[in-house]
Structure 1
């Protein structure tokens, strides 16, 4: 019996198990651009574009070919590129030297068409509500056609195409299709469409126009709000959650009746409309794709299908439904839906979304459909008769449009981000002509590829279960660029399980802290254990702070204003807590934001892949006009939240947590909608609403009503006051509840803003110091609570656009802290937002939501099974840079450093004393 007992003691507590995981192929690589080989993206995926590639300006969302095939014209944000297809020589308008003027005035959106003369092009002037006529030989604008007039104003030109002697154009502001007679330049008809008309196509017989509408709701102005009273009358918190009874019918909030948005299943919402051009009548309103409220594999659909582009044959039209990863087929002779083409790529991936079909084109024989997969970096070649994917063509990052040459010998593809960004600073960096801002340095790609030959009659189509090969072409290469199958043995010790729901982690609570707009080098570039460039560490320790000062100087009787950099502070410690946390706990020097800017970042961070609507809008100028008669001018374009138009099919992190019954609570995320009011007094939620936008239903009831999210007018110190008070009241006080398994906390002031000396921010660096102290304080506070022993804190940025980095413009901050995080550790494993979500999902037992979660790198190297429970001690930043007392002065609140250092009051002493004697008297 004794020997049996000893044998039992020797047995492992957790039997080793082997699991198969999918992880990105670049998990051991740093981001790099290699146009002759394979480039490593922020996601850890590779891109190896097939055929001939030409780097062009970023974000080409419009593409048209001349009728003779000699030219391709791409449309970008305020830029067009004219490409000679035979030589792949390109002219950028305007050019970087300033010798070729822009005809666009900075405003564009999607639409471009080339006239039969092969030199005249028609360009969407987007926000300006015009069509620009441009001569590609003389490189000058020859005319301009306004969509305003006849009772319409504030037009916004979207997609357009030529129809003989007329031009068809979509006006997304006024929800209409416009017909323009090119001889007279007059509008001959305005035909109502659904909301936010986005894609336009024409049947071969020129009788039927197809309009793809990506809008879901028409958003009303908040009653009672005017231009002069919006600071006080805007709603302090969103009035309702999306897709609820309240959002349909309206609700009374803050003493006002807030109108509802109606049904998300309305004909006007995310649909394709057919227009008879002989009568100017709408003949069909079709709801393509999967509808909101349906169930897919026990998950409720919350995102509309986002039908965005249409290709038309002699009888059938094909519509790309971005959210659903499928193609709807319309029999437009009967004006009915005729089926769906699911884009099946690989059995390991197919149950998850992550392709985002966007632009598409149909071969002349109508047997092959080519579809740009925006989120999968490939073009899908679909065999129409069998409705199956026949092949994949590797592209650059984020393909948007695809076209066949007139002779169908070449396939042309444009990609929004090409090979990625690459470095945008550092000792050996040479500034390119396009500049160093992430949105400029990251060039797009124009790709020419010989048209794939279909299989011979009787041949078999690929099954989709190919073995990836780095040297393979087509399908195999695309899969190899996307993921590798990695077999791992789990001995039960690492606090991060290999897969969700396989075992219990000692980590019970995760605090997910998100910040704004910083790169790795500018904050942590001085750390000797990481791959940094200390010369770029402007927010590090011992730095010099300069400020640009305007000076007047007389010269020959004239006075000129000049700006000079003047040293204000030397040897300043701007963000000492970041350095301290990184040294004491663990950080990554190989983490990248998938995002370029906040509009992408707040989607990616919360597990939502930005769709074509988000990407196209972020790459275009657009005025938000809440008082306009044009309903589309109150368009959804959040920078710090997620709009109903943006929801993925089954949502993102919020919805996944709710489905899996994981408790969570949100401090400040999902707060910044279009047209929000952000003043220093807007302290309840950080941003007030002048237009009615709903929050995602899953997070609406789990969001603090008294925590200021994004608003750099409010100190992060004020947010810490709000956080500590609510945390103490809910989870430490007399009637404490159970701490949720996940807390999300936004600390946004490292975004930076202009100097505000009277408010305690004399320099840009002051915002960084404010944010740094907040990060230090929250760790100081959390590590002194009883929850610390089972806690993980994740600290990251939403995007890197504010700074520069010598490895890649997307490289940013990722720091982990907690007892089960290794001390003094630096991770070199390639990581992105998918890696962070994989940590959250694996620990909390939540199934993956999309392909980016599924294939992200697994960051087990951060963790240890030997916990260290020592708390973190926050430090003050340089007082010359930021004075927290001065920042809190406008609110008439003290900054009590001694009280902060003491930590949370976990129990009320009087209550505890009374309870002690009560128990004594009761005989306990």
Structure 2
């Protein structure tokens, strides 16, 4: 099992390919995605299944931590480490005894206070500096043994070129070896700040986009700042309190953490969306080698390397692949990956000591059931601060973990771990179609199919049980159902008449990630690490990734070609966009920042604006917004034109967001009004298609971008999904494990494009939902009987 180098110096993972061959030979490689009874969440035996379908089997001893542990650093005594938990719930610092795995101290920060990924001890070990993220400060803690005591913080004031104050959102930081200066990456300011620790004087300089990590040279005169919003490392002179940019080095896409070798000659940079490690020669500031972390030959992206560290002897580099739930073990001298170690879900950081490896698993073992999860009838502006609400909110209920792994020189142990990772993630099958195909869904890209048109509908934030738990078939919990026949007659009729999908999961916790998964089959580290901290930001929450036009949040190797529509455009496949990733321009027209998407966007179709109605006859526009036509009326107007002209695009993207609701917010439409409005729009869309000449060759895929706003007895990620077509009009229950990326994989196979990432490559397409005996009976929508115009009274009421 040897590493093979291509002429460009990029290494291919022959060791992983060999392990994959062993797994495939044993017949266990395909079972991971299709095993009966498989569902997402913790299994109760220390293992889990992610919403993508990957198995999680962490090696070593596991310690429960806080919400989204993102970074850790050893205490000067090397017997303890401190962890920064930077999730959506109460953020915290935790001290862990490395010998016992015991958490010995927890310091909690409630909103608006915060911590983020930067952690650094002063050279004399008397102080710990912690980046304050959205609180725009550097925390300073006194150190006594292994105990931390909060001291006065260092505020960060950053101004842009126009003299306006901007959020710094400090991320990575480092202290110079003489203890005199602190170098900070100001993530939202596209800047780096050097703080004179004696005087408090701070000097800021512009660097690349969304800077993240800071690594100092051995003499402390040079700082390397990774620009996670681009593909560069800024090399700074920080020998004085006034920094200067020496040069900028191009690396892979979205560089994250970096680490310097003991001699100070090589800087290793984790390129998060290129699935590689760039190796910089610090004497010349040039990339001299690129290590490829793809798990099989020609694999699409998805390993998503994030954390990395060197062994004490400097001979081994460990890389945390957050997407693959493993740590890659690399022989530095030979430039070879020697194996993989299984971790928990989303390893974000890794530390090495003599004989041990410490891995932070940001999502631990996942969520599991949340029968007491959120309800829109209890959702008010204040509810998100309620500890009881947070206890089973998907974004805060997942417990991060620390894996303490004893290392060994036994090659058999590493080979066994590698085989386990290959089996967990289905790498043995590479990007071959799971479960094969049938006469409707091709078993290969470009295969024949009677489906010539696809309509992809994305809704917002509901769980399966909340909507269909009392359907009468499928795996539902009736006691958790909030919206019955009165507000969801079409959702129920379509699930009953076509196919009931009761084992489908949103790959995301919330919509910020969910739209990235729904359109790009991935969510990168910028999105994963920042969405939860938005309540702590002065500037408010972030937009969904695809909606911002910001390359920092566009996942995958090429931010300009990250999304499904980019692939369609590149292949000349026609498409039309209704509300995906749009925002109003000054004239009130809807525009997409992505030029490829904008060229195919209906400028009169409103995107995610809950104040605007999905269907006609619903509530009046709220808050004085100009909402144009209700969404479904605008869609029907264009659809009628396409029917008349015989030129329906191959793919349509349709956003129907109002099942998100405004909860119990005073003066807003009630949850049943929003749900009914949304259901009526969906029913009319299916009716229009099924009564048209395009019905015979169309498939309508309906899913939710996320499942954050409800309860479910299986897993908080489980959501509703529909496949509506003459070829799915069976009335059967399909309990195959599907997820958001299964929808994408099915669409890709139908229209003839390759997978976007490793995740949709792995996903089981929704073949089992289809039959080769179609029924062309059209569908007639039913208007919900719930009131569309009822509003919440002041003060907020409740009920079900």
- TM-score band (shorter)? 0.7 to 0.9
Distance in 1 (alpha carbons) for counterparts of 2:528 and 2:608: 21
Tell me, yes or no, if the aligned pair for 1:490 and 1:497 is still in contact at 8 Å: no
Match of 2:594 in 1: 696
Alignment map for 1:471-490 (pairs within 5 Å):
473-483=416-426
Question: Which of residues 255, 263, 266 is equivalent to 1:316?
Answer: 266
Cα distance in 2 for partners of 1:123, 1:667 equals 43
2:99 paired residue number: 86
- What residue in structure 2 maps to residue 447 of structure 1? 403
Q: Would the alpha carbon gap of residues 105 and 83 (structure 1) be closer, same or farther in structure 2, given more than 3 Å must change?
A: farther
How far apart are residue 489 of structure 1 and its match? 11
Q: C-alpha separation between the residues in 1 aligned to 2:247 and 2:710? A: 49
Show the 5 A alignment for 1:373-772: 373-405=321-353, 408-425=354-371, 435-453=391-409, 473-483=416-426, 494-502=439-447, 504-541=448-485, 573-621=486-534, 638=545, 640=547, 643-647=550-554, 648-650=556-558, 651-671=562-582, 684-685=589-590, 695-717=593-615, 718-729=630-641, 731-733=642-644, 736-754=645-663, 762-772=669-679
Alignment of 1:203 onto 2:217: yes
- Distance of aligned partners of 1:410 and 1:187 in 2 relative to their CA distance in 1, 3 Å threshold: farther
> Partner residue of 2:383?
none
Q: Distance in 1 between matches of 2:158 and 2:232?
A: 27
1:820 aligns with 2:766: no
In 2, the alpha carbon distance for the partners of 1:92 and 1:438 equals: 25
2: CA distance, partners of 1:677 / 1:754: 28
Deviation at 1:120, TM superposition (A): 3.9
Match among 747, 771, 775 for residue 682 of structure 2:
775
Question: Structure 2 CA distance, aligned partners of 1:114 and 1:434?
Answer: 32
| SS at structure 1 position matched to 2:109 | coil
2:275 matches 1:369: no
Instruction: Give the Cα separation in 1 of the matches to 2:741 and 2:568.
Output: 15
Q: Does 1:180 align with 2:206?
A: no
Taking structure 1 as the reference length, the TM-score comes to 0.72
Aligned equivalents of 1:482, 1:343: Cα separation in 2: 14
Secondary structure class of the residue paired with 1:580: helix
> Secondary structure in 2 aligned to 1:619?
helix
Corresponding residue to 2:299 among 351, 355, 362: 351
Q: Which has the larger radius of gyration?
A: 1
Instruction: Name the counterpart of 1:797.
Output: 704
The answer to whether 1:74 aligns with 2:87 is: no
Q: Residues 194 and 238 of structure 2 are in contact (CA less than 8 Å); yes or no, is this contact kept in structure 1?
A: no
Alpha-carbon distance change, 491 to 108 in structure 1, aligned in 2, over 3 angstroms:
closer
Corresponding residue SS for 1:43: coil
What TM-score do you get using the length of structure 2 for normalisation? 0.83
Distance verdict in 2 for CA 1:59–1:345, change over 3 Å:
same
Instruction: Confirm or deny: 8 A CA contact 1:637 1:643 kept in the other structure.
Output: no
Question: Which residue of structure 2 lines up, in the alignment, with residue 190 of structure 1?
Answer: 204
Task: Give the secondary-structure state (helix, strand or coil) at the position aligned to 1:413.
Answer: strand
Alignment length (residue pairs): 715
> In 2, Cα distance between the equivalents of 1:747 and 1:103?
34
CA deviations 1:106-137 (Å, max 9, x no partner) are 32321122345667422111122211112466
Deviations 1:16-45 (A, max 9, x none): xxxx99867143301231353431111111
Query: Is the contact between residue 27 and residue 44 of structure 1 (CA under 8 Å) also seen in structure 2?
Result: no
Answer yes or no: is the 8 Å Cα contact 1:831–1:857 preserved in 2.
yes
For the Cα contact (< 8 Å) 1:603–1:641, is it kept in 2? Answer: no
Distance 1:775 1:637 in 2: 22
**Aligned pair in 2 of structure 1 residues 765, 84: CA closer, same or farther (>3 Å)?**
farther
- 1:733-789 Cα offsets, whole Å, 9 max, x none, are 3xx14111111100000001145897xx64222111111111111111111111001
- Residue 337 of structure 1 deviates from its aligned partner by 2.0
How far apart are residue 483 of structure 1 and its match? Answer: 0.9
Is the CA contact (8 Å cut-off) linking 2:174 and 2:184 kept in structure 1? Answer: yes
In structure 2, the partner of 1:52 is 61
Retained in 1: the 8 A contact 2:516–2:544? no
Kindly state the Cα deviation for residue 64 of structure 1 after the two structures are TM-superposed.
1.4
SS of the equivalent of 2:726 reads coil
Over residues 144-191 of structure 1, what are the superposed CA-to-partner deviations in whole Å (9 max), with x where a residue is unaligned? 11122797844332211222323222223433332223344x125434
- Could you say what secondary structure the match of 1:620 adopts? helix
Q: Aligned partners of 2:767, 2:372: CA distance in 1, in Å?
A: 31
Question: Among 238, 246, 251, which residue is 1:283 paired with?
Answer: 246
Contact 1:426 1:806 in 2 (8 A): no
Asked if 1 retains the 8 angstrom alpha-carbon contact of 2:135 and 2:536, the reply is: no
Aligned pairs for 1:170-249 within 5 A: 170-184=185-199, 186-187=200-201, 189-216=203-230
Q: Which runs of 5+ in 2 are unaligned?
A: 1-26, 374-386, 616-629, 793-800
Q: CA deviation at 1:683?
A: 7.2
Change (3 A) 1:536 1:91: farther
Question: SS of the residue aligned with 2:674?
Answer: helix
Change (3 A) 1:711 1:511: same
Distance 1:39 1:769, change over 3 A: same
Task: Name the counterpart of 2:137.
Answer: 130
Preserved CA contact (<8 Å) 2:296 2:427: no
Query: Any conservation in 2 of the 1:575–1:772 contact (CA below 8 Å)?
Result: yes
Q: Is 1:32 equivalent to 2:47 in the alignment?
A: no
The residue aligned with 2:234 is 273
SS of corresponding position for 1:786: coil
Residue aligned with 1:80, SS: strand
Alignment partners' CA distance in 2, 1:432 and 1:393: 36
- Other structure's SS at 2:741 match: helix
Indicate how the Cα distance of structure 1 residues 623 and 363 shifts in structure 2: closer, same or farther if over 3 A, else same: same
Change (3 A) 1:24 1:670: farther
What residue ranges of structure 1 are gaps of 5+ in the alignment?
1-19, 95-100, 217-269, 290-304, 463-471, 542-572, 627-632, 689-693, 888-924
8 A contact 1:397–1:419 mirrored in 2: yes
- Who is 1:846 aligned against? 753
In structure 1, the partner of 2:715 is 808
Cα drift, residue 498 of structure 1: 1.4
1:284-327 CA-to-partner distances (Å, cap 9, x unmatched) read: 211112xxxxxxxxxxxxxxx11122111221111111111111
| Displacement of 1:278 | 2.7
Q: Distance in 1 between matches of 2:427 and 2:328?
A: 20
Q: 1:838 to 1:641 in 2, by over 3 A?
A: farther
Measure the CA separation in 1 of the matches of 2:639 and 2:313. Answer: 65
Question: Per-residue displacement from partner, 1:870-894 (whole Å, max 9, x unpaired)?
Answer: 1112112123x3249x99xxxxxxx
**Which of 835, 858, 861 in structure 1 is aligned with 2:768?**
861
Question: More deviation in 718-727 or 641-650?
Answer: 641-650
Distance verdict in 2 for CA 1:780–1:152, change over 3 Å: closer
Contact 1:603 1:642 in 2 (8 A): no
